[in-house]
Structure 1
Amino acid sequence: MKTFQMQCKFEIIRVLRNRYFVFWSLVMPILFYYIFTNVVNTNAPDKAEWQAHYLMSMTVFSVMGSSMMTLGIRMVQERSQGWSTFIRITPLSDTVYFAAQMMGQSVIHLLSITIIFIAGALINDVSLTALEWVMSGLWILLGSLPFLAIGTLIGMMKKVETAAGISNVIYMVLAVAGGLWMPLEIMPKMMQSIGKWLPSYNFGNGAWEIVRGNMPEWKNILILIAYLAVFMLLSKYVRRKQEAV
């Protein structure tokens, strides 16, 4: 347990020292939030509801990107530098190593959620009940698991450049098609039909429902669990194939 705790601590420190993480996971979502709630005229009938809705969108956007890109690219860097090979000759098991990475990333997510929530309260005086703040934060934290699984899958790639390029494309496509940048309702019918089955939409919709005073839909939960299972199995399969080679 002590080894696991120390490894978690190291993973957290490494992420916080990463300027890429600070910019994409904190600065950009807060900047987008300010622009789309104070600069761009969205013609939202209920401004307060839109501000709360978009705060959840940008928090989900931040955590989703951190899960896939920060974790995935870091894993590729470690493999290319021989760090993962070195770990195998230490007493630290692979299970503890990967669990510590995911746990450390989850702690970073909690920090990101807190900072962006505070930014929303300061920028637009977003007012939610204590239960809504806590429930939406917990939902975003737990809902990030399928994207962490995507991050481990990206981490199986051989080159940092390839991982960075592919993760950026996946990140942006999921964000736009999942309704995180703009409501899915204003998109073409076909885009709406596709978007509602994406993990990004179901991730965001759970948080949107909470700030509207509801609970996440069962469909959102089941779809995210299905994506988590699929990406975990894929990651495990690819890793075994690479180890066999």
Structure 2
Amino acid sequence: MNSLVKLELARTLRNRKFLFFSVLHPALLFLIIAGNADGTTELDGTGLTLPAYIMVSMASFGALTAVLTGNSERIAKERESGWVRQLRLTPLPGRGYVLAKTASAAVAGLPSIVVVFAVAAAVKGVRLDAWQWLALTGAIWAGSLVFAALGVAIGYLASGDTARPVTMVVYFGLSLLGGLWMPATTFPWWLRDVARWLPTHAYAALGRSIEQSHAPQVQDLALLAACFALFAGGAAWLYRKDTLKA
């Protein structure tokens, strides 16, 4: 499995378009959305400045981009090209393939988190304690595993032709409705109720709780754990189903 992870990472690092959108694009969006906001004025209802609030959103968005879009379409195309069938002839177990895809995608998402943090600190003067920076990095990186599993599931659910549009609908829907592009506090009341039950909303809430030096809410942790179990379980079931067809 380690060899497969290394192979997947090498393929990802050679994809310049993917690196731009997953690593540089979130940092550029951070600068655009933060605009001329200073580091002292707090965003209503959050207790955080706008740059600090948007920093977590864009770091989460960058990790989401890397793990979700990087997995789904590639897996769908590998299934159609016969690459997955060839891997089944090796000693690699089915769960090893799913875990390797999830792990490699999560590692690829780490640079986007670091770059957004670096830009926020250097350009917008976001200041946190050392433990908060480390905890933020760990929480956002670990939380991205939820969406990496979702990417694997979509890759087995969709065909090579439909994987990209299906992924884009899920990707933009979760990002927008989960409050990654704009504060969920600005949503109408009914949309705020919807956002609370989306994994992207709980994902970003983990980071903001660290910024506020608060413990994460149990509801957010439970929602992310449930979604990970659902997505990983779905990916495993779809993999077994795909194996029976081969």
TM normalised by structure 1 equals 0.91
Letter matched to residue 121 of structure 2:
A
Contact 1:80-1:158 within 8 A present in 2 as well: no
Contact 1:72-1:163 within 8 A present in 2 as well: yes
Contact 2:26-2:59 within 8 A present in 1 as well: yes
What's the counterpart of residue 55 of structure 1?
Answer: 55
What's the counterpart of residue 112 of structure 1?
Answer: 112
What's the counterpart of residue 149 of structure 2?
Answer: 149
Q: Structure 1: any 5+ residue segments left out of the alignment? A: none
What's the counterpart of residue 34 of structure 1?
Answer: 31
Separation of aligned partners in 2, 1:31 and 1:10: 29
Q: Structure 2: any 5+ residue segments left out of the alignment? A: none
Q: Percent identity?
A: 29
Matching of residues 1-245 of structure 1 within 5 Å: 4-38=1-35, 45-46=41-42, 49-245=49-245
Separation of aligned partners in 1, 2:179 and 2:170: 14
Change over 3 Å in CA distance of 1:125–1:45 after alignment to 2: closer
Change over 3 Å in CA distance of 1:233–1:98 after alignment to 2: closer
Q: Residue 156 of structure 2 aligns to a residue in which SS?
A: coil
Contact 2:68-2:150 within 8 A present in 1 as well: yes
Contact 2:71-2:151 within 8 A present in 1 as well: yes
Superimposed CA distance per residue, residues 145-199 of structure 1 (whole angstroms, 9 cap, x where no aligned partner): 2211111111103532311101111111111111111111111111000100100
Separation of aligned partners in 2, 1:20 and 1:211: 31
Cα deviation, residue 27, structure 1:
2.1
Separation of aligned partners in 1, 2:146 and 2:103: 14
Separation of aligned partners in 2, 1:6 and 1:88: 15
Contact 2:199-2:224 within 8 A present in 1 as well: yes
Contact 2:195-2:201 within 8 A present in 1 as well: yes
Separation of aligned partners in 2, 1:34 and 1:20: 20
Superimposed CA distance per residue, residues 68-97 of structure 1 (whole angstroms, 9 cap, x where no aligned partner): 110111111211221111111223333333
Q: Residue 52 of structure 1 aligns to a residue in which SS?
A: helix
Separation of aligned partners in 2, 1:6 and 1:149: 20
Separation of aligned partners in 1, 2:122 and 2:161: 37
Q: Residue 90 of structure 1 aligns to a residue in which SS?
A: coil
TM normalised by structure 2 equals 0.90
Letter matched to residue 25 of structure 1:
S
Let me know the Cα RMSD of the aligned residues.
1.9
Segments of 4+ moved more than 4 angstroms: none
